[in-house]
Structure 1
Amino acid sequence: MSKRIDARNLNVYYSKFLAVEDVNINIEPRSVTAFIGPSGCGKTTFLRTINRMHEVIPGAYAEGELLLDGDNIYAPGVDPVNVRAMVGMVFQRPNPFPTMSIRDNILAGHRLNGARMSRSEADDIVERSLRGSNLWNEVKDRLDRPGSGLSGGQQQRLCIARTIAVSPDVILMDEPCSALDPISTLAIEDLINDLKEEYTVVIVTHNMQQAARVADKTAFFNIAGTGKPGKLIEYDDTSTIFSNPANEETQNYISGRFG
């Protein structure tokens, strides 16, 4: 598990509108990378290109290359469904399947793919995934209860467990703490630090303190104005981005002068 991500001259479109322009970035395996920048600058759009989720929007497409360990996921013949099995996504708001139990939420990906498994194999996947999301001890005695009955922070960790249950190589997180209280946010941040031991983690966040706490590297995106494409302005070690950025736009953003 865990893959290197390389974007080469990647442009992302919504029909004729160029939303993100000419992204070149190298993300190391077993690391946490944060995308920061003002609203509308393309960071979430670019995040969604890493598992081809943007393509679910009619007319959306990408040009250029996005490589996972050297394999271009936009090459002809590549099945987006297979890409999404390798690159999991955790969304801004917790979204457990409301009619499913905690256990069935964890196994949903396997069942959707038609996997057959014994009861003991399923039990192992459920326990491994919940332990991996630091949720096992809190829910092990109520696995047959609805996942929607958990607290917001627990629901988000359940969604992370559901993501890692199918053994992806990369985990994408789109503002995973924006709907959570500070205690739940801390639990998710601790979990992100644990996850990078096995996965490549990429997180979009508007919380710069969060980026400074969890990310090994940080990418700053910006936009020149309404109707203009978002661009990657600067990408470096997180400590450098927040203490000695090379670009004036980055300095202005992290110092609160705009955004």
Structure 2
Amino acid sequence: MSKRIDAIDLNVYYGKFRAVADVDITIEPKSVTAFIGPSGCGKTTFLRTLNRMHEVLPGAHVEGKLLLDGDDIYAPGVDPVAVRSNVGMVFQRPNPFPTMTIRENVLAGLKLNGQRISKGDADAVVEKSLRGANLWQEVKDRLEKPGSGLSGGQQQRLCIARTIAVEPEVILMDEPCSALDPISTLAVEDLISELKEQYTVVIVTHNMQQAARVSDKTAFFNIAGTGKPGKLIEYAETSQIFNNPQEKSTEDYVSGRFG
């Protein structure tokens, strides 16, 4: 189900302001790629271009190409809603729908997409998605309880189950563990390692140790100063980024000299 991502000379704008400049990157299928860098360097903005989420802000647009298995998701006539079905997003803070049960939360994406399925098929989707998010055993006896009643870590895994339910090919995660305790963080990190067996996973994180633990490749973004665009400085195997970076600014960042 996973897909390769190619950004070719990609520039991201908010109105006339260029927020991210000249990104060229290839993200392989069935892998975990981490985006790291100081605050304001454009890593989350770039992440949101991968499923056209940045376009929800007026005036936001891109120049260049963004390919999923060779198909440009910004080509004329491409439906952004269809793109977001193929490229799911898990946000920084767990955001289950508070008035919905656990079961309804898992199925929410399907209903938003207008899909109608039988109760039997819905039951199968709920179980498969919750198993995929390593949550089934914890919630199988309370599927009709509110999703908001779960712990923070469980809520985040419920959101991942909701993402999985629509059968995407890419899963984007914007600092998915920043609001979680260490035990919940470990559970989500273990899940990320399992998800790459089926999906292309891209994660933004400020946690260097987390990037080192979960990712196959790491992309370091940086910014020259206020008002300047963020840029991709270095992209390589995670072990190289942390042990033998080629750029001094990468070394300074991963060693804690700034950021």
Using structure 2 for the length normalisation, give the TM-score. Answer: 1.00
What's the counterpart of residue 174 of structure 2?
174
1:175 deviates by 0.1
What's the counterpart of residue 225 of structure 2?
225
Which structure 1 residue ranges, 5 or more long, are not aligned? none
Find the aligned partners of 1:84 and 1:113 in 2 and give their Cα distance.
10
Find the aligned partners of 1:114 and 1:4 in 2 and give their Cα distance.
27
The correspondence of residues 73-222 of structure 1 with structure 2, limited to 5 A, is 73-222=73-222
Find the aligned partners of 1:3 and 1:176 in 2 and give their Cα distance.
21
What's the counterpart of residue 34 of structure 1?
34
SS of equivalent residue, structure 1 residue 26: strand
Fraction of identical pairs, as percent: 80
Find the aligned partners of 1:86 and 1:117 in 2 and give their Cα distance.
19
What's the counterpart of residue 44 of structure 2?
44
Counterpart check, 1:257 vs 2:257: yes
SS of equivalent residue, structure 1 residue 117: coil
What's the counterpart of residue 24 of structure 1?
24
- 1:108-131 deviation line (CA, Å, top 9, x unaligned): 111112211111100000000000
SS of equivalent residue, structure 1 residue 128: helix
1:85 aligned partner, one-letter code: S
SS of equivalent residue, structure 1 residue 7: strand
What's the counterpart of residue 234 of structure 2?
234
SS of equivalent residue, structure 1 residue 190: helix
1:170 deviates by 0.1
1:205 deviates by 0.1
**Greater Cα shift, 10-19 or 111-120:** 111-120
1:215 aligned partner, one-letter code: S
| Deviation beyond 3 Å, 4+ runs, structure 1 | none
What's the counterpart of residue 58 of structure 1?
58
Give the number of aligned pairs: 259
Find the aligned partners of 2:114 and 2:171 in 1 and give their Cα distance.
22
SS of equivalent residue, structure 1 residue 198: coil
SS of equivalent residue, structure 1 residue 252: helix
1:159 aligned partner, one-letter code: C
Find the aligned partners of 1:67 and 1:124 in 2 and give their Cα distance.
32
Which structure 2 residue ranges, 5 or more long, are not aligned? none
Find the aligned partners of 2:79 and 2:246 in 1 and give their Cα distance.
39
Find the aligned partners of 2:45 and 2:113 in 1 and give their Cα distance.
26
SS of equivalent residue, structure 2 residue 233: strand
Find the aligned partners of 2:199 and 2:64 in 1 and give their Cα distance.
24
Using structure 1 for the length normalisation, give the TM-score. Answer: 1.00
